[in-house]
């Protein structure tokens, strides 16, 4: 776990704009906060659970570009951001793209359901990283954190903090990752 944290921190700080020129050129609005990596980073194959308690893994999303959003029910910026993630999934979700929301830490299902109802969210998954294993392995220390995974399941970019993920500049950037 510590190895992943060190790796993510070191590589995140050494992002090279020249190697990711296409994505860098698309950074506008909230996407200016996006850190684009020189080389894609592997993601841990650790389990998380869905709303039924069944184990799931990021590996099941291979073949799709994924916007992995770490959040929590107590997080005010997460509450503000979640409707934009819902709209993004409605606009772009499908064969090539998926928004994956992952509540990290203690987030009981009734609180997640209440949070989603209050935010008007109905199509996003209610996945939980209860022991924060994935969050720790990926170096997530604050919330919200959104990670863009390529179709091979590797991290290509990360945004710390709230963002308007349904804005045209966010969609253009995500489409560029999908188009590869």
The CATH number linked to 71 is 3.40.30.10
Q: Using a pLDDT cut of 90, give the percent of the chain over it.
A: 84
**Residues 81-115 pLDDT 10s:** 999 999 999 999 999 999 999 999 999 999 999 99
Confidence of residue 21 (pLDDT cuts 50, 70, 90): low
pLDDT of residue 16: 35
Q: How many domains does the chain have?
A: 1
pLDDT of residue 24: 87
Q: Using a pLDDT cut of 70, give the percent of the chain over it.
A: 88
> Any residues with CB less than 8 A from the CB of 115 and at least 6 apart, and which?
73, 79, 82, 121
**Residues 42-59 pLDDT 10s:** 999 999 999 999 999 999
> pTM for this structure?
0.88
What value does the mean pLDDT of the chain take? 90
Range of the domain at 24: 2-179
């Amino acid at each position: 776990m510590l190895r992943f944290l060190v790796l993510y921190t070191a590589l995140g700080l050494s992002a090279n704009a020249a190697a990711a020129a296409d994505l860098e050129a698309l950074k506008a609005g909230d996407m200016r906060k996006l850190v684009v990596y020189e080389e894609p980073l592997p993601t841990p194959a650790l389990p998380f659970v869905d709303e039924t308690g069944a184990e799931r893994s990021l590996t099941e999303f291979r073949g799709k570009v994924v916007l992995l959003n770490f959040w929590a029910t107590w997080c005010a910026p997460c509450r503000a951001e979640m409707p934009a993630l819902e709209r993004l999934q409605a606009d772009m979700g499908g064969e090539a793209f998926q928004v994956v929301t992952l509540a990290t830490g203690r987030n009981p299902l009734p609180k997640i359901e209440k949070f989603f109802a209050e935010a008007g969210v109905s199509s996003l998954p209610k996945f939980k990283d209860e022991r924060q294993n994935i969050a720790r392995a990926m170096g997530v220390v604050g919330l919200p954190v959104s990670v863009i995974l390529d179709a091979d399941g590797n991290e290509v970019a990360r945004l710390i903090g709230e963002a308007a993920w349904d804005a045209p500049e966010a969609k253009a950037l995500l489409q560029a990752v999908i188009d590869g």
